[in-house]
Amino acid sequence: MQSLWNDRDAASCQDNPLSLRVYTSRLLGQEPSLVLHGGGNTSVKTETTDLFGDRERIIYVKGSGWDLATIEAAGFAPVRLGLLERMAELPVLSDTDMVRAQRAAMTDPSAPTPSVEAILHAIIPFAYVDHTHADAVVTISNTPDGEATIRTLYGSRVLVVPYVMPGFVLARAIYDLTRQTDWKTLDGMILLHHGVFSFADDARSSYERMISLVTKAEEYIHNHGAAGSAPLAAPVAPATGPELTLATLRRQVSIARGAATVLQLDNSPGAVAFANRPDVASVARRGPLTPDHVIRTKPIPLVMNEDAVSSVTRYTADYQEYFSRHATTGMTILDPAPRWGVWPGRGTVAFGANPKETAIVLDIVRHTRMAIVTAEGLGGWSPLSPAELFEVEYWELEQAKLKKGGKAPTLEGRVALVTGAASGIGRAAAQMLHAHGASVVGIDINPDVASVLNKPGLVGQVCDVTNRAALDAAVHATVRRFGGLDHLVSNAGIFTPSQMLADLDAATWEKSLALNLTSHQHLLRVAIPYLRLGWNPAVVIVASKNVPAPGPGAGAYSVAKAGLTQLARVAALELAGDGIRVNVIHPHAVFDTAAWNPDVLAQRAKSYGVTVDEYKARNLLGVEITSKDVAELVLAMLGPAFAKTTGAQVPIDGGNERVI
The catalytic residues are: 557
Dist CA 565 CA 586 (whole Å): 9
Q: Which residues, 6+ apart, have CB-to-CB distance to 560 below 8 Å?
A: 512, 513, 515, 516, 517
The secondary element (H helix, E strand) that includes residue 206 is helix 203-223
CA–CA separation, 103 vs 250, rounded Å? 40
Spatial separation of the C-alpha atoms in residues 261 and 353, rounded to whole Å: 5
HSE (side-chain half, CA atoms, 13 Å) at 132: 33
In order of 67, 117, 328, 451, the CA distances from 108 in angstroms are 20, 19, 37, 43
For residues 597 and 656, what is the distance between their CA atoms, to the nearest angstrom? 23
Q: Pseudo-torsion of CA 223, 224, 226, 227, nearest 10°?
A: -10
Q: Around Cβ 481, how many Cβ atoms within 10 Å? A: 19
Please report the DSSP string for 23-81 in residue order. HHHHHHHT-HHHHGGG--EEEEEEEEE-TTS-EEEEEEEEBTT--TTT--GGGEEEEEH
| Contact between residue 413 and residue 260 where contact means Cβ atoms under 8 Å apart | yes
Q: What are phi and psi of 65, to 5 degrees?
A: 90, -10
- Measured distance CA(335)–CA(394) in Å, rounded: 12
- For residues 202 and 239, give the distance between their C-alpha atoms in angstroms, rounded to a whole number: 50
Tell me how far apart the alpha carbons of residues 495 and 558 are, in angstroms, rounded to a whole number.
9
Rounded Cα distance, 175 and 98, in Å = 15
Work out the number of other CB atoms within 10 angstroms of the CB of residue 18: 15
SS3 helix, strand, coil % of the chain, rounded to 5?
A: 50, 15, 35
Q: In a 3-state reduction of DSSP, which class is residue 89?
A: coil
- H or E segment and range at residue 282: helix 280-283
- Report the alpha-carbon distance of residue 584 to residue 569 in Å, rounded: 9
Other beta carbons within 10 Å of 165: 15
Pairing relationship of beta strands 188-191 and 454-455 according to DSSP bridges: unpaired
Amino acid at 299: P
Nearest to 400 by CA among 336, 338, 332: 332
Cβ atoms of 57 and 47 within 8 Å: the answer is yes
Which contacts of 630-634 are long-range, i.e. CB under 8 A and separated by 24 or more positions?
A: 630/425, 630/428, 630/429, 630/542, 630/585, 630/587, 630/590, 631/425, 631/428, 631/429, 631/431, 631/432, 631/433, 632/432, 633/585, 634/429, 634/432, 634/433, 634/489, 634/540, 634/542, 634/585
Q: Which amino acid is at 632?
A: E
